[in-house]
Each structure stands twice: as structure tokens, then as C-alpha cells.
Structure 1
């Protein structure tokens, strides 16, 4: 009887020991999993400087934001390429920034406009050129875009508005300081730049 009691106690002790060890291991594993999840979440938290003030933001899945980045890149390129002042160095600086976002088709259009004397006319007439983006259509399957906007040429004697419709393709590339969205525009061309209106200015005497 005594032997049976001893065997029973030994079995109970073994069960209690195994249960204790299992529970401890479970706690350790749960602790590792929880710590890993905290580290993973912390990596998704980044600070963005807004007017000198650090603002905490959360990263989201890259593919969810990609269509927005595509449109942002297209808008940024057109704004840099077509925002011009009667200053040759300003024109070159803006165009050079825009050419980091596009393949050789951008350089060809820039050379074409220079050959036509477009930039010299702007400087000689002291004109300002800006654009307004109306809409951007993106085909994610074909990686193709259509840009619809209005080009405004502000001269001393007139305010000229032209339609601006362009098309092209885009591809994903490695992000860089000169191309933070990691998007390269390709085979870009202007398909409509016709005049909408030409409003004459009347200077007061």
C-alpha cells in the first residue's frame, strides 16, 4: 500500500512538473510573439517633419498606396515640366528635376520645345506658365496613364489658356532621393495642346 502511495505521488509530481514546465514555456513563447509584434508595429511607425514639427504616421501596405503614388508622380512631373518663369536658370532647374521622373521621351520633348524657341519666347515676353490638373486616368493592368489639364500662359498683354492632354506608360523602379515614389514614366507624348481661349488684358492708363 505504501509503495502504491509513493508511485501515485511520483506520478502526480511528474504531471505537476510537466504542466509547470509547459506553462512556463507557453509564457515564454507568448512573450516572444508579443515582443515581435510590438517591434513589427513600431517599424510601421515613422515620423514626418511638417513645418519643423515631427508628426507620427503609420505605414500601410505598399500596394494599397501604389495607385495614389502613380497619380502623384504623373502630376508632379507635369507640374515641374510645365511650371515655367521668364528665367532660363529656373526653367532648367525645373526641367532637370522633372527628367529624373521620366525616360528619354521627356528629354526629346524638352529638346523639341527648345528648338521651336518656346522657352526663348517665354523669357522675351516675360511670361509665366502654370498648369491646372483636371484629371489623371491610370490603367493598372496596362501600366498606362492619360493626363488631362489646362496650361495657362500669363503674358503682359494677354492670358492664354491651352488644353493639355498627354499619355504614356509607367513602371516601378527603386526609390531614390530624386525619385521618391519609385515610378518612371515612359513613352510620354503630348496628344493635344490646342488653344482654349486668349483673353486680352487692358492696362489702365
Structure 2
């Protein structure tokens, strides 16, 4: 009788072990299939670009993730186009045309004022080279109001003048284009300060 009970217990134990192993195998298989499906789906959503025949994963980011940096780059580019000038009428026109894609009518108004004052004619006649460099840009992402701090280096044949440059305005989102890759437009632009800091005579040999 004890022998029969022992055999029954062993059969029952073997059955439990078999069922447990079977259930565990199903769970492991389902987990493996789920993980494989997740990996395949993630790979399908990735885009690879080739860099010298080496595949590199291209990551996608939301537009707003880097918007502040884009705004500042837009502001800096506009000031470089508008204020950095060689003594070359054709190149000045080219720079101004590029700048006008980045600003509203306030930019054209300032350009017309400078032109009427003979600013560009004087630049060419005196063979002056003007370079604009950024010091900093303050930007409020809530109101999209900004303030630009920079300097102008005006190099003439006889001397070099350094001028401060402080401007401000607002930003508006617009569709991106080849002429406006950041998709922003400067509104209400005005110059707050543009004065000489110091002059330095060039040495003549």
C-alpha cells in the first residue's frame, strides 16, 4: 500500500514538474517574442545615414527641444548679414537681401534710414571694412523678446574704431525655407545703442 502511495506521489510530482516546466517555457517564449517584437519595431522607426559608408543612427527630436538655440542663431545671423560689410556695393546689396529674409518691415526701415544718411556710400568711398561680433543674446522664451549685445569693428585705411551695438526686438515663428532655415522672423527691431568705444590709429611704416 505504501508502495502504491509512493508511486502515486511520484507520478503527481512528475506531473506538477512537467506542468510547471511547460508553463515556464510558455512564459519565457512569450517574453522573448515580446522583446524581439519591440526591438524590431524600434529598428524600423530608426533611420540610418551613411558617413563614409559607415551607418549612423539618425535621431529625431521635437522642434521645441532646441528652439532657443535656433532663435539665437537666427538673431546672430541677421546681425552678421546686416552689419558686417566690405567696401563693395554688390556684396552690400547681397548681405542686405539675405538679412531682409530674416526680419519684418522694421529691418527695411532701418536700412532705408542708413542709406538716406549716406552710410553705405561713405563705407565704400572710405574703403572701410565693418565686422560685427556677438557678445551675448538675452532671450525670453515666454514673450520671445530678445536683446543683442555686440561690437562693430570699423577698419579704415588710417584707423580702427570699435563701436558698441545693442539692439532688441521680438521673434515670430514662420515656415522654414531655404532663405530662412530657422523658421523665425524678427519683429519690431530697433537699435538701442551704437556708439564709439575707442579709436586706434594704424601704424604706418
TM-score range, shorter-chain basis?
0.7 to 0.9
- In structure 1, how many angstroms separate the alpha carbons of the residues matched to 2:40 and 2:104? 45
For 2:148, the equivalent position in structure 1 comes to 147
What is residue 66 of structure 1 aligned with on the other side?
Answer: 67
* SS across alignment from 1:175: coil
Unaligned runs of 5+ in 2: 1-21
8 Å Cα contact 1:134-1:150 kept in structure 2: yes
Larger Rg: 2
Q: 1:39 aligns with which of 23, 40, 44?
A: 44
Give TM-score, length-normalised by structure 2: 0.78
Q: CA deviation at 1:106?
A: 0.8
Offset at residue 198 of structure 1 (A): 1.3
Give 1:1-205 correspondences, 5 Å limit.
Answer: 33-40=38-45, 42-43=46-47, 56=56, 58-204=59-205
RMSD between superposed Cα atoms in Å = 3.0
Q: Could you say what secondary structure the match of 1:141 adopts? A: coil
CA distance in 2, matches of 1:175, 1:47: 25
5+ unaligned residues in a row in structure 1: which ranges?
1-15
SS of 2:92 mapped into structure 1: helix
Q: Distance in 2 between matches of 1:26 and 1:172?
A: 46
Confirm or deny: 8 A CA contact 1:163 1:192 kept in the other structure: yes
Q: Number of aligned residue pairs: give it.
A: 185
Q: TM-score, length-normalised on structure 1?
A: 0.78
1:6 corresponds in structure 2 to none
Cα deviation code 1:131-182 (max 9, x no counterpart): 1110000001111000000011000011011110000000111111111111
Moved over 4 A (4+): 23-33, 45-48, 52-57
SS at match of 1:153: strand
> 1:109 aligns to what SS in structure 2?
helix
